[in-house]
Amino acid sequence: MSPSLNSPLPKHPPLAEDLVATLKDHFGSRFSQGESIRMQHGRDESVHEAAPPDAVFFARSTQEVADVVRLCHRQQVPIIPYGVGSSVEGHVLAIHGGITIDLAGMNRILATHNEDLDATVEAGVTRLQLNASLKGSGLFFPIDPGADASLGGMAATRASGTNAVRYGTMRDNVLGMTVVLADGKIIKTGGRARKSSAGYDLTRLLIGSEGTLGIITELTVKLHPIPEAMSAAVCAFPDVEAAVDTVIQTIQLGVPMARIELLDALTISAVNRHSHTTLRELPTLFFEFHGSPAAVSEQAQIVQGIAGGFGGQEFAWATHNEDRSRLWQARHDAYFACLQLKPGCRALPTDVCVPISRLAECIQATNEDISLVSIPIALFGHVGDGNFHLVVLVDPTSAADMHAAEWINERLVERALAMSGTCTGEHGIGIGKTRFMVREHGAEAIAVMRAIKTALDPTNLLNPGKVLPPGTAS
Amino acid sequence: MSPSLNSPLPKHPPLAEDLVATLKDHFGSRFSQGESIRMQHGRDESVHEAAPPDAVFFARSTQEVADVVRLCHRQQVPIIPYGVGSSVEGHVLAIHGGITIDLAGMNRILATHNEDLDATVEAGVTRLQLNASLKGSGLFFPIDPGADASLGGMAATRASGTNAVRYGTMRDNVLGMTVVLADGKIIKTGGRARKSSAGYDLTRLLIGSEGTLGIITELTVKLHPIPEAMSAAVCAFPDVEAAVDTVIQTIQLGVPMARIELLDALTISAVNRHSHTTLRELPTLFFEFHGSPAAVSEQAQIVQGIAGGFGGQEFAWATHNEDRSRLWQARHDAYFACLQLKPGCRALPTDVCVPISRLAECIQATNEDISLVSIPIALFGHVGDGNFHLVVLVDPTSAADMHAAEWINERLVERALAMSGTCTGEHGIGIGKTRFMVREHGAEAIAVMRAIKTALDPTNLLNPGKVLPPGTAS
């Protein structure tokens, strides 16, 4: 085991002058030590304290990434890959200094194979950019974490979102990747075949590794045919339990929902204010149905029947594309809407995921905790997967707020783990959740992860301090 | 890098007397050095020369596996996990001697969570056993490689089969596992949450690792609701291209097929003889549709329309359960039916998978190769995934047959790789395909796999000689 994983790196090793000179010489203004650029790359959407890198490199190609990594490797400089900075657990913070590689300029769509339902893109391509480029093809890329994240970043955090219940997560939707290793070597993983049993699944190992095992520079993703019919609806319920019971029964019946999202009353109230909607301020499910017109209508009928049985009100439908878009925009803005509940606050988003049979119980117990603290906490999420978020609104300068938020999160994670769930359904570990890793996986499994990290990045240069807890050797 | 991966282990190191004494003492007849038991465990369904282990241990629990692995680790004895022996690339052959751990006795279904659509089983539980236990629950486990394989073995080879086009492969259907490592430590990977972003995906790393990184002793698999309606049909086509074009268009339209299988004319003729069916001896597609009665009927109508456009004949339907079962039994027996085409022969099954747009071209070029050799070769497979098999029938004592088979397979793999495909869609690497690994993944990616192997099993005790090519250090 490398000692470097166990003894923190020096916080801000100054970059060697010759390295800086070489990079400036090669890349001109695409290598920057400017204060504002460094600061901008030293934070994400999380409450974690900013930690700017020593410099930022704006990459344009896999070969450039490899070249810079090789130089950094030679001088043992940490490297942090950066997409659009929409992560929420401090993934991109340069807590040990080093050079951030900004991949946003690698935004070419390299190939689209409509007949094979796949596309190969550079890591900086965002999901909306990819979908815009697919206009007219009859295909779309479904994974939708809300933010217009880069596909490389989404792969690195194993992102998902509102329609994972039908289309899966990034784990399920990446066929292959190009990856730069810690020493600057370039590998290709996977390919374009729909399935393969040819050796270790490096693609899946790298998905969710948050830049700690390699830097994803290109990826081939699955595309899906745009369904002939798509219809969305909202339905208010007397209480959260009734809404959750509706979800559970829908999933258990195998209704192929495209989306099934819960927003609690506080979230709905925030959404109404932010998005000028007039939804009833009750726990509410947002549904989306995909399929042929007949299949959509049949699914809708089944789900309406289930919802009615649990006291759900009439479905309010959005069948036109613009109405659907408006509805989902409101859903996606829920996070920002909630932020406005407490002016000047920041949000600590939680992210547990539990087996669906435990979901009602988990939410109920969590609501009891929420009733014991005085900070506003909204609840919403991807309940079809058993995944939900709290948006815990804190004044980051208030020790009492931070303590309450911490208490809620700790209790929630413990509860989810006790229910065979996970501390993070889709946000990732970053620096925010490393302390839960041993609790979730056990010390021996963490030792295996650490052994893999050491095998691939023996001196801990790639995004150090993320994913794995600091701690004992394996 | 460990030198042990690069210099072959001695072929048959004799087991130390004290180890044998300890194991006999602890496990009685469940530890056997008997000739017939060793021989039985030294072969699989492949043409590879048998290589019996020095002894076989019949395990009953994860703890027993861990105990035996720890003893073997102490004395550096190779360990080969064994399910039912249905692998086809020499996965279970004890080519470096050692102790085979037979997991068939670990056949308890530990928990079924109907409401969460999952079940936790010991590794020796077979897919038919699991499905039998689910009777009356409304749920089923879909992955169906034909053979009644053990679920542990299916996970280890990343198996799939006829309905992967809808339900995915083992990669997609395992939520978590219990695994014994090379030193006898026990880890749990994953959990029961439907999705997680908590660290490296050890579950996916172990799936497809063929016992070389750890021994899977328990696993939690996804279950699926039995569709309200299931209907199967066969349709004969004037030629293979017409059949394949039908498949391509069906997949591109997003029709959610449960199964879509191609059998060429020679295979149909073998099936007719073996299963006493009266199918027209033409290239034929076997379809299965799952869904509500309305959805099934709608899908069937679409596909009939597509097939008709390519010269497909009338669909022959099997809607009753018994008829459907008979049809799929005939499909599953195709391999054995083909074996009877050449009495006394053995079969070399190929397993490439290509992007679906290249499938017709790949099959056509392959058929041209087939026309150049004089051995019988049948073609069938899971064309909805772009995956098809040749059953190359050889007299294993004939150098000419073996040479021809080798030539066909080499050409086919080269062709698939040139089309961004894979040398194995579902069978795995075993010993039979290690020579294609560098060609498929590149030397640098293989070096990464080797580094992971070395990190987890530094002295190469777990199923040595499988998956990774012998060769240069990374």
CATH of domain A229-336: 3.30.70.3450
Q: With b meaning 16 or more CB within 10 Å and e meaning fewer, what string describes B222-254?
A: bbbbebeebbbbbbbbebbbbbbbbbbbbbbeb
pLDDT at residue number B3 = 35
pLDDT at residue number B26 = 97
Alpha-carbon gap, residue B202 to A201, rounded angstroms: 10
Mutate to test the interface with A, among B70, B110, B162, B200 (most CBs of A within 10 A): B200
ipTM for the assembly: 0.96
Which chain B residues are closer than 8 Å to A422 by Cβ?
A: 191, 193, 195-198
Put simply, whether B211 touches A (Cβ < 8 Å) is no
pLDDT at residue number A47 = 86
Place A11 in a pLDDT band, splitting at 50, 70 and 90: low
A201, A254, A440 ranked by CB distance to B171: nearest: A201
CA distances from B471 to A185, A198, B63, B446, B466 (A): 19, 17, 34, 10, 13
Alpha-carbon gap, residue B152 to A37, rounded angstroms: 51
Mean pLDDT of chain A: 94
pLDDT at residue number A376 = 96
- B355 with A454: Cβ contact below 8 A: no
Structural domain spans, chain B: 3-104+449-456, 109-225, 229-336, 339-418
Put simply, whether B215 touches A (Cβ < 8 Å) is no
Alpha-carbon gap, residue A468 to A453, rounded angstroms: 9
Pick the CATH number of B339-418 from 3.60.40.10, 3.30.460.80, 3.30.70.2740, 1.10.3430.10: 3.30.70.2740
Whether A50 shows a pLDDT value over 50: the answer reads: yes
Put simply, whether A301 touches B (Cβ < 8 Å) is no
Domains B3-104+449-456 and B109-225 share a fold: no
The answer to whether the CB of A304 falls within 8 A of the CB of B304 is no
How confident is the model over B34-91, as pLDDT tens digits? 999 999 999 998 889 999 999 999 999 999 999 999 999 999 999 999 999 999 999 9
pLDDT at residue number A12 = 57
The answer to whether the CB of A290 falls within 8 A of the CB of B254 is no
Look at residue A92 and give its three-state secondary structure: coil
Q: Which CATH class is domain B109-225?
A: alpha beta
The letter for the amino acid at A159 is: A
Alpha-carbon gap, residue A424 to A409, rounded angstroms: 11
Length of chain A: 474
CA distances from B2 to B450, B454, B455 (A): 9, 6, 9
Which chain B residues are closer than 8 Å to A448 by Cβ?
A: 181, 187, 202, 456
Residue with tokens 């990343």: B158
CA distances from B15 to A370, B21, B49, B77, B93 (A): 62, 10, 22, 8, 17
Closest-CA residue of chain A to B185: A444
Q: Environment class of residue B256 by beta-carbon count within 10 Å: exposed (0-12), middle (13-18) or buried (19+)?
A: middle
pLDDT at residue number A469 = 95
How confident is the model over B154-195, as pLDDT tens digits? 999 999 999 999 999 999 999 999 999 999 999 999 999 999
Q: How many CA atoms lie within 13 A of B293 on its CB side?
A: 1
Look at residue B240 and give its three-state secondary structure: helix
Put simply, whether A172 touches B (Cβ < 8 Å) is yes
Any bridge partners for residue B111, and if so which?
A: B120
Alpha-carbon gap, residue B448 to B451, rounded angstroms: 5
3-state helix, strand, coil in chain B (%, to 5): 40, 20, 40
Residue A445, Cβ neighbours under 10 Å: how many?
24
Contacts of A305 (CB under 8 A, 6+ apart): none
Alpha carbon B354 to its chain's center: 17
Mutate to test the interface with A, among B5, B118, B194, B292 (most CBs of A within 10 A): B194
Whether B10 shows a pLDDT value over 70: the answer reads: no
Q: What mean pLDDT is predicted for residues A357-361?
A: 94
pLDDT at residue number B1 = 33
Whether B473 shows a pLDDT value over 50: the answer reads: no
Place A274 in a pLDDT band, splitting at 50, 70 and 90: very high
Mutate to test the interface with B, among A117, A200, A382, A424 (most CBs of B within 10 A): A200
Whether B9 shows a pLDDT value over 80: the answer reads: no
Q: Choose among B214, B196, B14: nearest CA to B98.
A: B14
- A193 with B355: Cβ contact below 8 A: yes
How confident is the model over B374-414, as pLDDT tens digits? 999 999 999 999 999 999 999 989 999 999 999 999 999 99
Alpha-carbon gap, residue B162 to A195, rounded angstroms: 13
Q: Nearest 5°: phi and psi at A57?
A: -115, 125
pLDDT at residue number B319 = 84
CATH of domain B3-104+449-456: 3.30.43.10
Put simply, whether B43 touches A (Cβ < 8 Å) is no
End-to-end CA distance of chain B: 7
The letter for the amino acid at B31 is: F
Whether A4 shows a pLDDT value over 60: the answer reads: no
Which chain A residues are closer than 8 Å to B217 by Cβ?
A: none
Q: What is the dihedral of CA B294, B297, B303, B306, to 10 degrees?
A: -100
Alpha-carbon gap, residue A72 to B460, rounded angstroms: 33
Any bridge partners for residue A138, and if so which?
A: none
- B201 with A171: Cβ contact below 8 A: yes
The lowest-confidence range among A77-86, A340-349, B118-127 is: A340-349
Q: Environment class of residue A328 by beta-carbon count within 10 Å: exposed (0-12), middle (13-18) or buried (19+)?
A: buried
Q: What mean pLDDT is predicted for residues A97-124?
A: 97
pLDDT at residue number B179 = 98
B113, B200, B451 ranked by CB distance to A357: nearest: B113
Residue A74, Cβ neighbours under 10 Å: how many?
12
pLDDT at residue number A20 = 98
Place B20 in a pLDDT band, splitting at 50, 70 and 90: very high
How confident is the model over A194-227, as pLDDT tens digits? 999 999 999 999 999 999 999 999 999 999 999 9
Q: Nearest 5°: phi and psi at A410?
A: -60, -50
A45 or A192: which leads in pLDDT? A192
Closest-CA residue of chain B to A385: B194
CA distances from B197 to A147, A154, A170 (A): 17, 11, 10
The answer to whether the CB of B455 falls within 8 A of the CB of A454 is yes
pLDDT at residue number B396 = 87
- B426 with A171: Cβ contact below 8 A: no
Pick the CATH number of A340-418 from 3.40.50.620, 3.30.110.30, 1.10.3720.10, 3.30.70.2740: 3.30.70.2740
Which chain A residues are closer than 8 Å to B386 by Cβ?
A: 193-194
Q: What mean pLDDT is predicted for residues B16-25?
A: 97
In three state form, how does the secondary structure of A247-293 look?
A: HHHHHHCCCCCCEEEEECHHHHHHHHHHHCCCCCCCCEEEEEEEECH
